Structures are given as structure tokens and as C-alpha cells.
Amino acid sequence: MTDFLDEKRKEIDARLKELRPLVDEYSRLEKAAEALAGVGSESAQRPSRRRASNGRKRSPGTGRRGRPPGSGKRARQAEELVNARPGITIPELAAAMDIQANYLYRVMPTLENEGKISKQGKGWHPGANAPEPSDSAAELSANASPTEA
């Protein structure tokens, strides 16, 4: 077995020595290609055209469209229900709001990150930044039947 391993090591070493010059050449060619990229090409010699500005500056923003996450009607409604019924679970919220629970699994962590609510065990509780419960949340809470946990 030792002879076999020694033979394989020698074969590998020989092959590495054989391939080393090719690897070195590849590296040199790669560096040369990077150095020549854009030099002497038509696009590099042409001046770039700038679009005419309408005078307004663009805000850098994040490139995202639409409203910020957690700022919609359902997020506010979920927050109000959590404030009215501390310890409420997502399935209970979904039943009270008459929506699918999977939507709330996306909304609730955003509200938690904003400090509006917090998760304790399986239930959601008002966070440090939570406002007092409103009348509409109390109505929703009263209309929803509590489910057994």
C-alpha cells in the first residue's frame, strides 16, 4: 500500500510541475487583459453623453418603489390589535382581520424592528414605541372570537 501511495504522490508532483508554467501564463494573460480593457476601443475614445437635467436633484434613496414596509393599513390594523390584546398570536390576528396568516408573518417582524411591537413566546405584545389602543382596535378585538391556544 505504501508503494502505491508513493507512486501516486510522485505522479501528482510530476503533473503539478508540468502544469505550473501554464498556470503562470494564464495569470500573466489575465493581468494583461485587465490592463488593456477599454484602452483603444471606440467606446473609450468617445465622449460620454449626459442627459439633460430638468433642474431637480434625484434623491439617492434605496431604489425601492412604493411605500415603506410596515406602513400600510394592515400593519396599522395589526399594531392596534396587538395593543388592544397583548399576547395575541398571528393566527388570532389573521382571524380577527379576516386575512391570511402568511401575510402577517411578513408584516409583524417589520413592526417589531420598528419597536412598535415585541414578540414574547408565541404572542405579540406592545413595544416600547407603542401608542395607546384606539377605539377601532377595541371594536375589532370585541368582534373577534378568542381562539383556544
Domain parsing of the chain, residue ranges: 2-38, 73-143
CATH of range 73-143; options 1.10.10.10, 3.50.50.100, 2.40.50.180, 3.10.20.30:
1.10.10.10
- The residue among 67, 75, 68 whose CA lies nearest residue 107 is 75
Q: Read off the pLDDT of residues 61-96 as tens digits, 9 standing for 90 and up.
A: 666 666 665 567 888 899 999 999 999 999 999 999
Q: Read off the pLDDT of residues 1-42 as tens digits, 9 standing for 90 and up.
A: 789 999 999 999 999 999 999 999 999 998 888 888 877 765
pTM over 0.85: no
Q: Is the pLDDT of residue 141 over 70?
A: no
SS3 state of residue 117: strand
Task: Compute the distance between CA of residue 129 and CA of residue 124 in angstroms, rounded to an integer.
Answer: 14
Q: Where are the beta strands (DSSP E) in the chain?
A: 117-120, 123-126
The confidence score (pLDDT) of residue 96 equals: 93
Go through 60-92 and write b for each residue having 16 or more CB atoms within 10 A of its CB, e for each that does not.
Answer: eeeeeeeeeebeeeebbbbbbbbbbbeebbbeb
